[in-house]
A and B are shown apart, each in its own frame.
Chain A
Amino acid sequence: MADDKPDIARWVDEGAKAIGLPIAPEYREKVIVNVERSLAIAGPLLALALDDELTPLPVYRP
C-alpha cells in the first residue's frame, strides 16, 4: 500500500479548481498550511465511530 498521508498541496490545487476558487501563488502556501492544520484539529472527530441511527438535529435546540 502506498503512503496513506494525503498530498495536501494537490488537495488544495485540485479542490480549488473543482469549486472555482482561484488561489493566487502568494496565498497558496498558507492555504496548504491551514488545510494541514485543519486535518490535525479534525482528528479527534474523524476518529470517532458514530451509530447509524445518530442523525443531525434538523431543528437545533440546545
Chain B
Amino acid sequence: MSDPLSKAATASEIARAVMSGKAKASAVIDAALRRIAAAEPTVNAFTDLVADRARKRAAEIDAGRHLGPLMGVPFAVKNLFDIEGLATRAGSKINVDGPRASRDGALVRKLEAAGAILVGGLNMGEYAYDFTGENAHYGPSRNPHDPTRMTGGSSGGSGAAVAAGEVPLALGSDTNGSIRVPASLCGLFGLKPTYGRLSRAGSFPFVDAFDHLGPLARSTEDLALSFDAMQGWDPDDPVCTDRDIEPTMPTLHEGIGGLRIAVAGDYFTKGGEPECFEAVATVAKALGATRTVVLPHAAAARSAAYVITAIEGAQLHLPRLRTRPQDFDPDTRERFMAGALLPGSWYVKAQRFRRQYRAEVLKLFNEVDIILAPATPCSAPRLGQVMMSIGGVELPVRANLGLFTQPISFIGLPVVAVPTRKSGALPIGVQVIARPYNEATALRVAAYLEKQGTCLSTPA
C-alpha cells in the first residue's frame, strides 16, 4: 500500500485512505498540485489547472458532503473534455477564441459524482489528429520515462500526467488509438471501451464513427473503478448504448480460468520492431495462450479506418480550414486539407466494408474470448522524429504508430492496453481485445497479468 500522498498512490488506494479517514482529501489535492508544479517543466502534461475548484471540492469531501468509490481521487482530462468556465481547446489555438463551456462534460460529472476531484485539462495533439503527443501551440507532452521521447498521442498529456505520478487517473479519447498508443509508450494501463459504451456528451468530436472516451491509470483496479463510475445511458450522446450497466469490479480478480485466449496472427505479426512482438509473446506466455487467430482483411480495415478518419475529420474542420488555416498546427493542417479532397466513394466503400469486417471478426469470438495484439509497432520515438525505420523500411511516424490499433477501434471492440517493460528498456504495451461489451473480461485478463507481475506500471 502506497502513501496516499505519494506519486505512487493509485486511485483506489487514495479512495480507501480518504474513505477510512486515514487521509484528508485536501491533503491529497495539495500533494497532487505540488507534484504537478514540480513535474510540469519536464513533462508539459497540463494546459489548464483548476486548483481553486479542486481545493473547494476537497474541502467539501472532508466536510462529509460527498461519498463515492473514488472519494478524494485527483484526476485530469484531455482538453477536449468540457470543463465549466474554460474554452474546450481540443489541442487547438482556434478553439480558445470560442465559447467557454457552460458545464463539465458528462464523464467529468460522473467521476465527480463518484467522489473524484478534477484538477485540470491536459495537453493533446491538435483536434486529436495525432499519434505523437506533439503540439505546435502548447509544446509537446514529454514522456516521463525519457523526456527526450514522445508520449504518444493524441492523449499525450493524459499519458504524461499519469506516468509522471502527477495524478493517478486521467481521461483520454481514442478514435484510432489515442488512448492505447500513449498507454503503450508511457507504460500505463489504458481502457478503450466498446464504441458507444461511455457518453461522449460535452467533449469536442473528431470522427463520430470511431470516437471513444476512456481512462488511463497505473492499475487495473483504477480502470475498473473509474469505468464502472462512468457507465450508463446518456441521451445527450446519440451513440451511447442503452444496455444495462455491467460492473467490472465484481469479477476483476476472478482470474483467467475458462477463458480462451489467442494471439492475433498475420497482419499483427509484421510491420513492427522486435520489441512489440516480444511484448506480445511475454503476455501470451504468462496467459498460456498458444493459439493464433487471423483477423481477415486487417490491412483493409486499417485503410478503411484511415479513409473514414481523414474524410470525417476534414469535413468537421472545413470551415476553419477555409478561414483560419494559419492558426492550425502545421502537423495537422495539410493532413486535414488533403482529407477534404478525398473521394466520397472511398468513404462509402469503407463504411460498407466495415459491416463485412465486423461480421468476420465477431465470428472469431465464437472460438476465442480474448485476442492479443501489439499496441504500438515500437517503443517511444524521439520527440520531433518524422520517420521511423520498421523492419528496415522507412515509414512516417505519425501515420504508423496506430498501425495495430486502427483495425480494432474500426469496429469498436473493447481493449485494455497493458504495459510491459524489460529491464533497461522503455515500456511498450499489448492490446487485450474482447468481444463487444466485454470490458469485464479484458479487465480480468489485465488484472491477472498485473497480479502475476507480467504487466506493472510504476511512475517515472
Residues on A lying within 8 angstroms of B by beta carbon are: 11-12, 15-16, 19-24, 27, 30-31, 33-35, 37-38, 41-48, 50, 54-57, 60-62
Cα distance, A56 to B341, chains bound together (Å):
22
Closest 10 CB pairs of A and B: A62-B412, A34-B338, A30-B334, A45-B303, A56-B351, A15-B341, A44-B299, A44-B300, A62-B436, A44-B303
Residues of A within 8 A of B413 (CB): 62
Interface residue? B350 (CB, 8 A): yes
Interface residue? B167 (CB, 8 A): no
Cα distance, A11 to B348, chains bound together (Å):
20
Residue-wise interface mask of B (322-352) relative to A, using a CB-CB cutoff of 8 A (1 in contact, 0 not): 1001000000011101111110001011111
The answer to whether residues A21 and B338 also contact, given A45-B353, A54-B352 and a CB cut-off of 8 A, is no
Which of A41, A47, A55 neighbours the largest number of chain B CB atoms within 10 Å of its CB? A41
Taking CB atoms and an 8 Å cut-off, the chain B residues in 377-404 that contact chain A are: 396, 399
- CB–CB A48/B334 < 8 A: no
* B177 CB, nearest partner CB in chain A, Å: 15
* B412 CB, nearest partner CB in chain A, Å: 3
Cα distance, A44 to B335, chains bound together (Å):
20
- CB–CB A43/B411 < 8 A: no
- CB–CB A35/B303 < 8 A: no
10 additional contacts, CB 8 Å, given A42-B303, A45-B349? A11-B341, A15-B341, A22-B322, A27-B337, A31-B337, A34-B339, A35-B342, A42-B306, A60-B412, A62-B195
| Residue in B closest to A43 when the chains form the complex, CB atoms | B303
- CB–CB B194/A46 < 8 A: no
- CB–CB A48/B300 < 8 A: yes
Residues of A within 8 A of B300 (CB): 44-45, 47-48
Main secondary structure of the interface of B (DSSP, over half): helix
Interface residue? B302 (CB, 8 A): yes
Interface residue? B433 (CB, 8 A): no
Cα distance, A61 to B242, chains bound together (Å):
11
- CB–CB A23/B337 < 8 A: yes
Residues of A within 8 A of B412 (CB): 60, 62
| Residue in B closest to A48 when the chains form the complex, CB atoms | B300
Contact partner of B338 (CB less than 8 A), chosen from A31, A45, A47, A60, is A31
Interface residue? B304 (CB, 8 A): yes
Taking CB atoms and an 8 Å cut-off, the chain B residues in 51-72 that contact chain A are: none
| Residue in B closest to A16 when the chains form the complex, CB atoms | B341
Residues of A within 8 A of B321 (CB): 21
Kindly count the residue-residue contacts between A and B in the assembled complex, taking CB atoms under 8 Å apart: 114
Residues on B lying within 8 angstroms of A by beta carbon are: 194-196, 209, 239, 297, 299-300, 302-304, 306-307, 310, 318, 321-322, 325, 333-335, 337-342, 346, 348-356, 358, 396, 399, 411-413, 436
- CB–CB A45/B350 < 8 A: yes
Main secondary structure of the interface of A (DSSP, over half): helix
* A13 CB, nearest partner CB in chain B, Å: 10
Cα distance, A13 to B262, chains bound together (Å):
48
Cα distance, A56 to B325, chains bound together (Å):
33
Contact partner of B339 (CB less than 8 A), chosen from A11, A38, A43, is A38
- CB–CB B411/A50 < 8 A: no
Cα distance, A5 to B339, chains bound together (Å):
19
| Residue in B closest to A62 when the chains form the complex, CB atoms | B412
Complex A-B: 18 CB contacts under 8 Å: A11-B341, A12-B341, A16-B337, A16-B340, A21-B322, A27-B337, A38-B306, A41-B399, A42-B307, A43-B303, A44-B299, A46-B349, A48-B300, A48-B349, A48-B353, A60-B209, A60-B354, A60-B412
Cα distance, A38 to B219, chains bound together (Å):
38
| Residue in A closest to B362 when the chains form the complex, CB atoms | A62
Which of B340, B348, B413 neighbours the largest number of chain A CB atoms within 10 Å of its CB? B340
Residues of B within 8 A of A44 (CB): 297, 299-300, 302-303
Residues of B within 8 A of A15 (CB): 341
Residues of A within 8 A of B306 (CB): 38, 41-42
Residues of B within 8 A of A62 (CB): 194-196, 358, 411-413, 436
- CB–CB A35/B322 < 8 A: no
- CB–CB B333/A27 < 8 A: yes
Residues of A within 8 A of B349 (CB): 45-46, 48, 50
Which of B209, B322, B352, B436 neighbours the largest number of chain A CB atoms within 10 Å of its CB? B352
| Residue in B closest to A39 when the chains form the complex, CB atoms | B342
- CB–CB A55/B337 < 8 A: no
Cα distance, A50 to B355, chains bound together (Å):
11
Residues of B within 8 A of A60 (CB): 195, 209, 239, 354, 412
Contact partner of B322 (CB less than 8 A), chosen from A12, A20, A37, is A20
- CB–CB B337/A21 < 8 A: yes
Cα distance, A34 to B396, chains bound together (Å):
11
Cα distance, A30 to B1, chains bound together (Å):
52
- CB–CB A19/B355 < 8 A: no
